[in-house]
Amino acid sequence: MDPIWMISGAAFIGAAALASAIYTMVNEAGSTRAEDRLDVLAGSKTAEAEVTRSLIKQDMVGGTKAKPSAFGKYSKNLGKWGEFLEQADSPIDLQSLLLISCGIGSVGAIAGVVLQSPTPLLPVYFAMLGSLPTLWLVFRRKKRFAKFGTQFPDALSLLARALRSGHSLNSGMQMISEEMAAPIGLEFQIAFEEQNLGIPVEQTLKNMMKRMPNLDLKFFITAVSIQRQTGGDLAEIIDKICEVVRERFKIFGMIQALTGEGRLSGAVLMGLPIALFLAVYKLNPDYVMLLFTHPFGKKMVAGGIVLQILGAVVIKKIIDIKV
């Protein structure tokens, strides 16, 4: 096929995907104005709640957008992806993510054609650049989980003090949402507004656990559920949980220091084959292309990929110590 036609087709696909993603985000932003006005009239709209509106309405019965997207029905069937985007507090939906990934991947393929790379590497370029938005969301999700974990002991201390001063559990959760920054402030804001809409506190906490799977949060939810059934001093229970959480953080810090060498070794072992491949390809492309053209070379590439994945899993198991 003529390279000009390949470049033109890839450029058209990439531009169309990016334009569709931008149009979708702008369209969905405009479709929420009526809901925002209703929240203001109801008195539930605050500066923090405005950021979490899209998350709160997913738990409401019958809550739909004014203009559902073209892939709305298909997105509902992809529950795991929707949960992943929600946990990452993604500013884009699944449809926009797919369109942006296709657009960036097409740019990678175009760059490969322009640089006259071998044809078998063009799908590799597409996959590598197309996965960047998903990798960004994975990093954003992991960073959000880590920040929630570091904020959680302070939130428990604040809640225990609020309970001792005479506030209810619902009022204490509101104080956390007002006094603490995101993500823990936003999560407790969602739980507080769910309770205002009549959802039991146990269910609101379980919904928070789905959005923010954290072991310390699970301890807190279990303690609240047992206390509401059997009674007891909830403030004292929360103080004990807070003490345990802080001790776990100290032990986790020690483990991170002791396993630093193993994590660095894993990163070097995973990146070294790729770096050597690129260096040899730059020096002698014909020599490296035997791996993709010769039948035995293809088997070697497949075996190398399998061994790389196996090695990464083994190193992960060694350095991943549960606390």
**What are the 10-residue block averages of pLDDT along the chain, 323 residues in total?**
51 54 48 45 42 43 39 54 86 88 88 80 85 92 92 92 90 91 91 89 90 90 88 88 89 84 84 87 86 87 89 84 72
Q: What is the pLDDT at residue 160?
A: 92
How far apart are the C-alpha atoms of 285 and 287, rounded to whole Å? 5
| Residue 133: predicted pLDDT | 92
Sign of CA dihedral 102, 19, 75, 182: positive
45: nearest Cα among 64, 29, 32? 32
Alpha helices, H only, 115-233: 122-130, 132-164, 169-179, 184-196, 201-211, 215-230
User: How far from 225 is each of 214, 221, 234, 244, 248, CA to CA, in Å?
Assistant: 17, 6, 10, 18, 23
User: pLDDT value at position 232?
Assistant: 81
The C-alpha atoms of residue 124 and residue 249 are separated, in whole angstroms, by: 40
**Is cis: bond before 183, omega within 30 of 0?**
yes
| CA-based radius of gyration for the chain | 25
Round to whole Å and give the CA distance between 246 and 219: 13
Q: Tokens 């450029």 belong to which residue?
A: 11
For the chain, percent helix, then strand, then coil, each to nearest 5?
80, 0, 20
- Write down the pLDDT at residue 18: 53
Q: What's the pTM value of the predicted model, to 2 decimals? A: 0.66
User: Which CATH number does the domain 142-247 belong to among 3.90.550, 3.40.50, 1.25.40, 1.20.81?
Assistant: 1.20.81
What is the pLDDT, as a whole number, of residue 70?
Answer: 43
Give pLDDT, residue 136. 93
Every domain range in the chain assigned CATH 1.20.81: 142-247
